[in-house]
Amino acid sequence: MSDFILSCCSTSDLTLEHYKKRNIEIAYFHFKIGENEYKDDFGQSISYDEFYNRMEQGEITKTSQINVSEFLDYFRSLLATGKDILHVTLSSGLTGVINSANSAKKILEEEFPNQKIYLVDSLCASSGFGMLMDYLADLKEEGKTIEEVYKYALDTRLNIHHWFYSTDLKYYVRGGRISKTSGTIGTILHICPLLHVDARGLLIPKQKVISKKRVIKELVKKMEEYAIDGLNYSGKCYISHSRSIDDALEIKRLVEEKFVNLKDKVEIFNIGTTIGSHSGPGTAALFFMGKKREID
């Protein structure tokens, strides 16, 4: 039957309104900034501007994934409707949240023996994760069964490409992704590292590009190289950013100029508070459907 619940984690970085429109349920991560803890709820508890302003002023952020108890309460409320659940999690390359979801699933299978919970490790993040959810919602609206949508998610998750860069390296130094020395030199030379997500769902640095103007062009070149059908690509294309709307608009302009067969216009979203806690302000990312990602 196609009447099932489609669900994901809040780290999928589209908008709350978008998910309500697509009938997708959300399980929320949490984050702490300063002395207060908030839900990662698409800018509802704390605006994106305030969040990134406080990061720029030096306040430390800390994120926490959804634990087993929270998943038990969340899944139980959905199962109470009598429907099966297909829940998709943030990449296991970035968090262990899939383990918490699996633990809750095992407990609830005994409590609800006539219902099923299907779990998918997205191996995606941010609006790439959101793009996967949009494709799954398309299939659900077409009347596909939960088994068919589940299989599509597993078969397609590695086709969603994530290419992004950051202009402020101190958050990568703080997170241990680059050394303090490399961060200092990179800042002096205006290096913008170009990264992507590989087949394990890990963030992998690919190139060191000098200047933001050049890295934006390199970002679009990656889409030319990897997108399905190359410049004839006609699938979805999303951009997410953290306090970099001008960059996002320039990327959108270049993509729409080169890829004239896009079915819809490129959509721009904010990088949410969980992902943004690690990437910091000054990040922009491009997402599209492409060749299968490989392990780096």
Confidence at residue 188, expressed as pLDDT on a 0 to 100 scale:
47
Question: Has residue 257 got a pLDDT over 60?
Answer: yes
pLDDT greater at residue 193 or residue 291:
291
CA 37, chain centre distance (Å)? 21
Q: From the CB of residue 231, how many other CB atoms can be counted at a distance below 10 Å?
A: 11
> 68-79 and 97-111 are packed helices; what angle lies between their axes, rounded to 10 degrees?
50
Place of tokens 């398309």: 138
The predicted model scores a pTM of: 0.95
Question: What number is the average pLDDT over the span 22-32?
Answer: 98
Q: What is the pLDDT of residue 250?
A: 98
Under the banding of pLDDT at 50, 70 and 90, the label for residue 177 is low
Give the residue-averaged pLDDT of 10-28.
Answer: 98
Least confident of 23-27, 116-120, 121-125, 180-184: 180-184
Give dist(CA 12, CA 130) in Å, integer: 4
Question: Looking at the DSSP assignment, which residues form a beta bridge with residue 37?
Answer: 32
Across the range 109-118, mean pLDDT stands at 97
Residue 190 has pLDDT above 80, yes or no: no
Residues 6+ apart with CB under 8 A from 162: 124, 125, 126, 128, 196, 197, 285, 286, 287
pLDDT in tens, 63-113: 999 999 999 999 999 999 999 999 999 999 999 999 999 999 999 999 999
Q: What DSSP letter does each residue of the chain carry, written as one string?
A: ----EEEEEGGG-S-HHHHHHTTEEEE--EEEETTEEEE--TTSSS-HHHHHHHHHTT--EEEE---HHHHHHHHHHHHTTT--EEEEES-TTT-SHHHHHHHHHHHHHHHSTT--EEEEE----HHHHHHHHHHHHHHHHTT--HHHHHHHHHHHGGGEEEEEEES-THHHHHTTSS-HHHHHHHHHTTEEEEEEE-TTS-EEEEEEEESHHHHHHHHHHHHHHHBTTGGG--S-EEEEEES-HHHHHHHHHHHHHH-TT-SSPPEEEE--HHHHHHH-SSEEEEEEEBSPP---
Is the pLDDT at 169 greater than 70? The verdict is no
Nearest C-alpha neighbor of 224 from the set 241, 211, 237: 237
User: Given pLDDT bands bounded at 50, 70 and 90, which one contains residue 253?
Assistant: very high
pLDDT recorded at residue 142: 96
Report pLDDT for 171.
60
Band of residue 178 on the pLDDT scale cut at 50, 70, 90: low
Distance CA(198)–CA(295), nearest Å, equals 6
- Beta bridge partner(s), residue 62: 32
